[in-house]
Amino acid sequence: MISMRREAAALSFALLFALPRGAAGDELFEYGEYLSSQCSTCHRLDAFEGGIPPLGHLPEDYFIIAMREYKSGRRSNPAMVSVANALTDEEIAALAAYYAAQRQE
C-alpha cells in the first residue's frame, strides 16, 4: 500500500513536470540535456554497455519512479543511490523530460 502511494506521488510529480514543449518545456528539456552529461559517463542513450541499461527509451514517469526508489533505498545500486541522492526533484524531472524526448526522435 505504501509502495503504491509512493508510485502515485511520483507519477503525480512526473505529470506536473510533463510540460508541453513550449518555453517552460524547452527549458526543462535543455536543463535535462545539460545534466545528462553526468549520466552519459556510464549510460548510453540507445544500447546496453557492459550491463548498464540505456536511458533514451525510458518514459518520464518510469525514470522519476526509478530515481525516487534509488533515493529511498528501495532499489540498491551504490552508484545510482549516490547519484539519485545528489539530485533534486527538479533535476530528476528535467532528466526524465530529456530522456523521454530522446525516445521520440
Those residues with Cβ within 8 angstroms of residue 91's Cβ, 6 or more apart along the chain or in another chain: 31, 35
Kindly state the helix (H) or strand (E) to which residue 35 belongs, with its residue range: helix 23-39
Provide the terminal-to-terminal Cα distance of the chain, rounded to the nearest Å. Answer: 37
Position 65 scores a pLDDT of 97
Q: Where residue 57 sits, what CATH number does that domain have? A: 1.10.760
Instruction: Check: CB of residue 85 under 8 Å from CB of residue 72.
Output: no
Q: Are 13 and 93 in contact (CB under 8 A)?
A: yes
Residue range 63-99, pLDDT digits in tens: 999 999 999 999 999 999 999 999 999 999 999 999 9
* Domains contained in the chain, number: 1
Mean pLDDT for all residues in the chain: 82
Domain of residue 8: give its range. 2-104
Q: What is the pTM (predicted TM-score) of this model? A: 0.74
